[in-house]
Amino acid sequence: MSGKTLTLIKDDPWLKPYSNAIEGRHNFVIAKEKEITRNGALSLSDFSSGYLYFGLHHRENGWFFREWAPNATAVYLTGTFNNWGKNETYRLKKTEHGNWEIYLPEDAIHHGDLYKLFIEWEGGCAERIPAWCRRVVQDGQTKIFSAQVWHPANPYVFKNEPFRPEKSPLLIYECHVGMASQEEKTGTYEEFRKNILPRIAKDGYNAIQIMAVQEHPYYGSFGYHVSSFFAASSRFGTPDELKHLIDDAHGMGIAVIMDIVHSHAVKNEAEGLGRFDGSGYQYFHAGARREHPAWDSLCFDYGKNEVLHFLLSNCKFWLEEYRFDGFRFDGVTSMLYYSHGLGEDFTNYGDYYNGRQDGDAIAYLMLANKLIHEVCPNAVTIAEEVSGMPGLASKFEDGGFGFDYRMAMNIPDFWIKTLKEKKDEEWRPSVIWWETTNRRKDEKTVSYAESHDQALVGDKTIVFWLIDAEMYWHMHVDDRNFKVERGMALHKMIRLVTASTINGGYLNFMGNEFGHPEWIDFPREGNGWSYKYARRQWNLVDNPHLKYHSLGEFDREMLRLICSVKDFQATAIRKVWDNDKDQILAYMRQDLVFVFNFNPVKSFTDYGFLVPEGKYKVVLNTDDKQFGGNGLNDDAIEHFTQHDKLYESEKKGWLKLYLPARSAIVLKKIKDK
């Protein structure tokens, strides 16, 4: 540092007492980058190209295979090409730094062959799936996983390049390929590409965030217990089919963000890295820090340069090989703190700089963001982080971590807590406003009412909290049911107030936009290995005679409205009015006025508040019959402000509206007075 105060500290005086800690971590990352790049002789991208060296690679007239296994005493390639034998012909040679390699002639192995490593160490030996392998398949009968040679004669060639993600705003459709099928089975990349991508594009989302891409042994882990970090899960199809999916998404203007898991790894030894070369600490911490106390998984040792090399190379690999447009980093809170954030309150700034932070993990996250944006300047990085660590989505040069966005995890927690604990008449607009707009000015967030977390078995989605079992019997458009009508009204209002107050992006989990019934429960012994709850019932939203269709229509029109304003997420948001007694909230963004009446029983006639003088037209109404509402307002009527001499200098007038109970309207100023 030159002694110049970092922008993060200058912009937030409350951080000044912790300037030494913030500047210290910043300088540590700079020093670490110099160390791993040999004082700048390499670029960070050069350092992060391990996938081009390690693993299996076809070269002219032959094959090269390399692996890092410092504790091994002997390493063999074994597979279908040598009847799974320990053959001297396939014995690897040890080089330097714990690396092993072998060169094989062209006809030694072939596309589609299965293989593993047979690794020996002092006192033991075992078969292992190579750490850098790019494809892993499971035998349908034995359920055993093996690496597979992937070298097709006609590899997939991308057609839609280059692609630049749309970020104004970023509208994310969080999805899972396997459970995107309507049938009770595991869906495929091809089915998703053909059947689901067009839906997403039609609905107005400009990004998908794909879960469970990295190979994982247990399907029910939702992809969060990764075993092979460079292998796209074969349970959904081939690498070429995933590339085709991403390419088609780009052709539709949809960015593809990968849900990447670098916060921990599966404990499995046969499938994963758990005891890869016989030691338990090759990639992971030794001793008490090795196992995650809550996740039954292993914790990476980010202090090892070899681990940095592995994980940074993993980031670059998915960007370069598959053309992903960025990453949502899972479990960031767990990485930041020695406690993994468990049992911590995070009630003041001191909790973020008390010496209980993992400096090595923090350095990795900062380096990962630097690398990703070096490789792809337009890439999107999102942090899933619950503690509120300042600077997470600030630029590295300003003293931040370098993420583009952070997840606004307080918002779904707030909605679920409200639905569980508050009566309708206790909903306070001032609190809703605070929760949806309370964020650091220098950091962009991804706001959302609910994600996959709220949809998992053991929890409830918003629509299930609102309607519950009535969904099974009263969702036909001609069926009048108070609980369903209340639920639909609040479902739309919750989404509208969440999406319209964004300062960065908005996220929705697959199917939640139309109130997908029930929870997510993957096949497991406890449910008889059923796929009934690990799928999406698209027929519900497609049926115009069901109320799900109305909710889907509202979501589409809501996004269309947001996208009608250039850089909507960056426009100033100004509160016009809130009244907790009436349960009314109103605010403006450019020429749009958003008005909410959360009152469950009381409608208001000629309810007025001050807005810029002019003529206004209703452009969205949650109570519209098209969206399953009662249609109590005539939205064709134009609304004129009433002049008030007291506010003449401010050029404001009174906008007086009829506000039905449990409804929201959006008006657009179409003419100055």
Is residue 570 within 8 A of residue 471, CB to CB? The reply is no
Provide the Cα torsion 224, 230, 235, 238; round to 10°: 150
Residue with tokens 């970092």: 6
The torsion region of residue 131 among left (phi > 0), alpha (psi -120 to 50) and beta comes to alpha
Is residue 69 within 8 A of residue 277, CB to CB? The reply is yes
Is residue 549 within 8 A of residue 542, CB to CB? The reply is yes
DSSP state of 288: G
Interhelix angle 19-36/305-322, nearest 10 degrees: 80
Pairing of strands 145-148, 114-121: antiparallel
**C-alpha pair distances (Å), 610 with each of 166, 575, 587:** 34, 11, 10
| Cα first-last separation, the chain | 55
State the sign of the Cα–Cα–Cα–Cα dihedral 63, 69, 74, 76.
negative
Interhelix angle 19-36/359-375, nearest 10 degrees: 60
- Where would I find the H helices in 479-578? 482-499, 538-542, 547-563
Q: Which of 644, 632, 626, 623 is nearest to 605 (CA)?
A: 632
Interhelix angle 410-421/482-499, nearest 10 degrees: 160
The type of residue at 30 is: I
632 burial (CB, 10 Å; 0-12 / 13-18 / 19+) is: middle
> How far is Cα 7 from Cα 458, in angstroms, rounded to an integer?
43
Residue 235 tokens read as 């349970």
Q: Pick the catalytic residue: 23, 191, 330, 557?
A: 330
Q: For this structure, is 384 an active site residue? A: yes
Q: For this structure, is 330 an active site residue? A: yes
> How far is Cα 13 from Cα 17, in angstroms, rounded to an integer?
8
The type of residue at 639 is: H
Residue with tokens 């007075």: 673
> How far is Cα 75 from Cα 267, in angstroms, rounded to an integer?
22
Pairing of strands 573-579, 505-509: unpaired
State the sign of the Cα–Cα–Cα–Cα dihedral 269, 271, 276, 281.
negative
Q: Pick the catalytic residue: 203, 247, 384, 624?
A: 384
Phi, psi of 259 (to 5 degrees): -80, 95
- List active site positions: 330, 384
